[in-house]
Amino acid sequence: MITIIGATGFTGRLVTENLNSIDTPLRLCGRDRAKLENLTTESKYVRELVTVDVNSKQDVQKALANSTVVINCAGPFTELGLSVLEESISKGIHYLDITGEQQFIAMAINKFGAQARRNNVTAIPACAFEYALADAAADLMESELGDLQSFESTYVIEGMYTSRGTKRSVLSALGSAAHQLRAGKPEKLNSGDISKFVAGDGTEHLRFAFPGGEVYLLPLHSRVQNISTYLTSQAPYPILYALAGLGPKIAKTPLKSLIGSAINLSTASPERTQTRFCLRCRGTSATATSTVNIEGADPYFLTGKIVAAFALELSRDGELPCGVISAAMMKGGGFVREIMRRESVKWPIENR
């Protein structure tokens, strides 16, 4: 049984759609019973519907009972994800989620890694398009260059449409401690860290440092000592400056509640197909440098594909890496790249 927490959310529905094409029993969980029942008309392999409040230990236990794999799509994860993660690992259930929140990733690794290994559980936080792709790129670079000394990823977004769940996660992340990796240790990120960046097509952008999951995920399988993560978009430069410098401060004030209320009133269905991205990764070893520009569209759709593929692998009998792991540690970076190749995502690698 594969259980999906947050199945009625924007990404949860996409994950369900992908798993519904394969003969695998599904349990769909969410807060709204009516929305869950609407999903059953589209999901022929659904065996159970469970109404769950993730803040209720009893609800979570009921939702996860007799599960082989749990997919958590209910964020913000720093606020709502702990109970599902804890119950999964304590009961020996394989786990993955779609978080983009750096502090939740760090907590999953540091607090639950040893227990997951003891219980023979595979737990994969941040198994979504952004960090799964960057993690895979780093793994492939190391297979070509040897041990990386540094890794840098820059997310270039065009037409940034986001779901309400993503907006809430971003707001939560802005109010948390943020780090990048320096000399093998997490170092606090300075807000307002702005730099120039030349994209693969030669155009110049401004980018700002942000707390990417790579900072904690890559060291799980790499001896890389320095990791930097950046974000840029087509937004006007003044907005980028404000987001980089003021966002973390706003998230610590009463304005956070007002922004959260506005998010709840915003559209629940972004025009996701209009969102295009280029993830530019650069890795450096002692002797060479590798650069990859991963280009595609519709990140939510891609996340659905990645999560479904990983969940199916976890549900099959066979030897699995135990503990809290990154996406690339499951079957290597090539597994993620092949999923993306089938969805026409460009993934050229340049070594020099």
* Residue ranges per structural domain of the chain: 2-128+301-332, 129-298+341-351
- Answer whether 67's CB lies under 8 Å from 90's CB: no
Establish whether domains 2-128+301-332 and 129-298+341-351 are of one fold: no
How far is residue 133's CA from residue 273's CA, in Å, rounded to a whole number?
18
- For the stretch 312-322, pLDDT in tens is 999 987 889 99
* Cα distances (Å, whole numbers) of residue 60 to 29, 285, 338: 10, 44, 34
Nearest alpha-carbon partner for 259 in 243, 281, 282, 276: 243
pTM of the model: 0.86
> Which residues are within 8 A (CB) of 63 and not within 5 positions of it... i.e. 6 or more apart?
3, 5, 27, 29, 50, 52
Average pLDDT value for residue range 131-157: 94
| pLDDT-wise least confident of 22-26, 206-210, 240-244 | 240-244
CA-based nearest residue to 71, from 317, 314, 336, 269:
314
Q: What is the mean pLDDT of the chain?
A: 84
Q: Quick check: 78 and 105 in contact, CB under 8 A?
A: no
3-state DSSP call for residue 290?
strand
> 129-298+341-351 in CATH: which number?
3.30.360.10
Which amino acid, one-letter code, is at 225? Q
Longest dimension (CA), the chain: 58
How would CATH label the architecture of 2-128+301-332?
A: 3-Layer(aba) Sandwich (3.40)
CA 238 from centre of chain? 27
pLDDT in tens, 281-311: 999 999 999 999 999 999 989 999 999 999 9
Residue 171's pLDDT band, with cuts at 50, 70 and 90, is: very low
